[in-house]
Chain A
C-alpha cells in the first residue's frame, strides 16, 4: 500500500513551478509521489464483476504481478479500440501539439507537471500507438515521437490516466475537439485488461453491481436513510412525508446518485427533492435496485458502464412507470444523456415525459425519456407552480459551480441559474472564464475522490477554489452551489483547504429552503437545522 500522505500547507502547495524538467519527457520516468495517486485495487472487487487478473498487488512496489503476455494484451486492446472508436483513431492521428489545451487542465495548473497537460497525457499513449500502428513510427522511432511499450510506460499510464478527471475542458478549447476524456477512458480500459484499477473505483463498481449503488447501501438501509431525512423535514416544517419504494405503477421513477442519500451536504439535496415532490403531490417512486445514477463503471470501461446503467431502464420497465426523473449528478447525466438510450434503448416501454403539474412535454427527452430535475424544476417555477420565499436563503451568499459533465456534456447552464435566481436573493457569478462551458473541475471526479490522493485533489481543485476565493473576497460568498454528487463530496474539503468559510450545497437544498409548503409551520431553521438568522425581525416589518 502507498503511504497516506497529508497534503502540504496551502502556502506551499500554491508555489507551483510550471517549468518543464530539463530531461525530455520520454526520458523522464513517472515518479510515484505519495498523495498523488490512489491505492491499487484489491482482487475481491475485480472478482465481483469478472474483471481480468485479480490479484494482490501494490502500485508502489516494483512488481505489479502482470500476466506474462501483458504487452500483447495491451497492443491487441489498442487495435480493437481503434476499430471500434473513431474518436480514439482520429485523436491519435490529428493532434498538432499546438498546446492550446495545456493550461486548460486543472491538474496541470495545480501541479505544473507537464505530463498533466492534456496534449502530453495523450502523447503517453499516442507514442505507443505510433510505434506499433503507424509506418513512420515503426521506421523513424523516437524521431517520429514513437516509443516502445515497456513496463515503465505502462506504470506511467496508470499514474497519469488516474490523474485525469475526464472533465473535457481541454476538448472545448482544442481546435479539433480532441477529448482527453475519451483518451483517458480508453487508456483506463487498456489498464483494466490487466486488472490495473484503483481501489476507490473498483470498490464502488462492485457495490453498484451487486447492491445497486456505489455506497453499498442495502435496501433497508437506503430506506432508513431516507426516513432519517423525513424526520428532519418534519422537525423543520411540521409535515410528514411518505415516499414509496419500488412501487409498481407509479407515474415516475426517480433516480439519483446514492451520494445524495448519505452524509452531508448530499442529504440536504435529497431532502429538497423529497419536499418538492411531496408539495407537488407527484406520483413517483424511489428504487432500491436502481439506486445509483452515478456510474463508476464509466471510470473503468464502456462495457462496465453499460452493465451498471442497465438498471435504470430495467427498473422503469419492471415498475411500469411512464417516465424517469433524474437527480443532481454530473457523470450520471453525461451517461444518461449521451449513452443510456444507445446502450439500452429504445425506451419505447416509456412515454415521452410530460410534467403532471404544468403539462409541459419535455421534447428534449423525447427518445431517452429521462428528464433532469433542474429542467423539471425550472419549468415549475416558470409556470408559477411553486410558492417560494427566497428570503429564507438570505443568510447564504451563493455562487454557482457548473459541473463539468452537465456543462460540457449537455449544456445545462441556464436552468439551474434560473432556479437559483428564484430561490435566492444573493447570487454572484465567478469570473467568466471559469464558469458555464469553461467551468473548472472540482479535481476529484472520475473516481479520484479517495483519501490517499489528497494532495492530487487539492492541486486539481486549486483553479476552481481560486475562482471561488475571488467571489468570496469580493462579495462575501459563503455557499458554493452545484448539481453533482461528486461535487458535494469533493468540494467541502477543497473549500476547507483553500477557501475556508465557504460551504457546499446542492441546488435542491436551496429549493427546499425556499419552498413554502402547504400547511407547514413557521420555519425557524434551514434544512441543515441551523437557525434562520433575522427571521423574527423581518417578519415584524
Chain B
C-alpha cells in the first residue's frame, strides 16, 4: 500500500514536470522558481530542525558503550567504541558517519532445529547503505561542475576515478550504476523481508522511488537523450549568480530531473531523511563515556522529595537499637 502510493506519487511528480514544461511551457516555474523555493526550504528547514533538537538539552550522559571502558591502567580500553575523551568521540563519530560503524556490526539471527539460535554476521544492509550514501555523495559532488566556472580541480580527479572504466563516450560513471543498484536493493529488501515490509511506511518508499527517479532521469539524460549540457550549465550558472534565465533547447527530461531533485530537497527536512543531520546529535553516540570522571550537569535538575535518614531512623529507632545498630538520637 505504502509502496504503491509512493510509486504513483513519484509518477505524478514526473507527469507534473512533463506536462508543466512539455505542454504548458512553464519553464521558468520548473527551472527557476521551484528550484529556488526547494533550496530555501531545505536550508531553512534543516536549520530549523537542528535548532529545535539542540534546544532540548542532554540532561544525562548516556553513551551506548561498545567495548572496554577506561578503567585500570593495565586494562586496554577500546578508545573508539568506548571513548573517554573528545578525541575518541570524534573518532567514534567519524567511523559512524563515514563508515556506518554500528551497521557494520549487524548480525542476523536465525532459529534452527534444536532449537538453536544462530547469530551470523550480516553485512548486506551495511554494504547497500554505504554504497548508496557514498555514491550519492560523489554524484552530488560531480554536479558541482554545473555550479562553478571554472570547475574546481578536484572534480577532474573525482571524475576520472569514478569513470575509470571508460566504457564508450560519454564516460560511464560507476556511481550512477551503484546508486541504482543500491537503491533497488534497499527497496527490494523492504518488499521481501516480512518484518521490514511490516514496519515500512509510505514515507520509507517515497524517498526511495524519488531517488530512483532522479538517478534514472540522470542516466537517461547523460547516456541516451544526450541533453544539451551547455544549455543546462547556462541555466544552473544563472541560478547560482542570481541571474536566472531559461536557455533554449533543453530537453524536458532535464526539467523532470530537476523537479524531482527539488522535491527531494524540499521534502528532506520534514521527513526521516533528517537522519543526516540528526546522527551528529545522537547522545548515545556523541558523548564520551567519562561519566564518573567528569561531572555532567543537567540544566533542569530540580530538588525532589526524598526519604531522609532522620525519617528513617524515627521509624526504625527501636528496632535498630535492639539489634545494636548505632543511631543518631537515643
Q: Which chain A residues have a beta carbon within 8 Å of chain B's beta carbons?
A: 14, 16, 18-20, 24-25, 50, 82-90, 93-100, 102-104, 109, 114, 117, 119-120, 123, 134-136, 143-145, 168, 171-179, 182, 209-212, 218-220, 223-224, 245-248, 288-289, 302-303, 306-307, 310-311, 314-315, 318, 336-339, 341-343, 345-346, 360, 363-368, 370, 375, 378-379, 382, 407-415, 418, 431, 433-434, 436-438, 462-463, 466-467, 469-470
A179 touches B284 (CB 8 A): yes
A84 touches B119 (CB 8 A): no
Instruction: Judge whether B151 is part of the interface by a CB distance below 8 angstroms.
Output: no
Contacts of A360 in B (CB 8 A): 72
A88 to chain B, nearest CB (A): 8
Instruction: Judge whether B270 is part of the interface by a CB distance below 8 angstroms.
Output: yes
A520 to chain B, nearest CB (A): 26
A89-B56, A93-B278, A219-B320 given; 10 more Cβ-contact pairs under 8 Å: A50-B305, A90-B281, A143-B201, A173-B106, A182-B62, A246-B326, A342-B61, A364-B290, A411-B289, A414-B75
| Given A89-B53, A175-B103, A177-B102: A345 in contact with B282 (beta carbons within 8 A) | no
Instruction: Judge whether B329 is part of the interface by a CB distance below 8 angstroms.
Output: no
Contacts of A100 in B (CB 8 A): 102-103, 106, 125
B66 touches A437 (CB 8 A): yes
| Given A145-B203, A303-B304: A343 in contact with B278 (beta carbons within 8 A) | no
Cβ proximity bits B279-302 to A, threshold 8 Å, 1 near / 0 not: 101111100011111111110110
Q: What CA separation (Å) do A62 and B281 show in the bound complex? A: 42
B201 to chain A, nearest CB (A): 4
| Given A103-B109, A143-B202: A364 in contact with B272 (beta carbons within 8 A) | no
| Stretch touching chain A among B25-33, B161-169, B170-178, B306-314 | B306-314
A99 touches B195 (CB 8 A): yes
| Given A172-B105, A175-B129: A434 in contact with B296 (beta carbons within 8 A) | no
Using a Cβ–Cβ cut-off of 8 Å, how many residues does chain B contribute to the interface with A? 102
Please provide the 6 A-B residue pairs with the shortest distance between their CB atoms, ordered closest to farther: A411-B69, A177-B284, A94-B278, A433-B119, A411-B65, A220-B323
Q: Residue among B282, B285, B292 with the most chain A CB within 10 A?
A: B292
| Given A178-B282, A367-B292, A411-B78: A117 in contact with B61 (beta carbons within 8 A) | no
Q: Residue among B69, B107, B200, B324 with the most chain A CB within 10 A?
A: B69
B10 to chain A, nearest CB (A): 15
Of residues 46 through 86 on chain B, the ones whose CB sits less than 8 Å from some CB of chain A are 49, 52-62, 64-72, 74-76, 78, 81-82, 84
Q: What CA separation (Å) do A336 and B295 show in the bound complex? A: 12
Q: Which chain B residues have a beta carbon within 8 Å of chain A's beta carbons?
A: 1-2, 5, 49, 52-62, 64-72, 74-76, 78, 81-82, 84, 96, 100, 102-103, 105-109, 111, 115-117, 119-121, 125, 129, 193-204, 270-272, 274-275, 278-279, 281-285, 289-298, 300-301, 304-309, 312-313, 315-316, 319-320, 322-326
A351 to chain B, nearest CB (A): 14
A281 to chain B, nearest CB (A): 21
Q: What CA separation (Å) do A38 and B311 show in the bound complex? A: 32
A63 to chain B, nearest CB (A): 31
A337 touches B72 (CB 8 A): no
Question: Residue B103 contacts which of A144, A173, A219, A434 (CB distance < 8 angstroms)?
Answer: A173
B282 touches A177 (CB 8 A): yes
A511 to chain B, nearest CB (A): 17
Write 15 A-B pairs (CB below 8 A) sorted by A numbering.
A18-B195, A24-B1, A24-B198, A87-B58, A87-B283, A95-B275, A97-B204, A100-B102, A173-B106, A174-B102, A177-B64, A179-B64, A220-B320, A223-B324, A382-B74
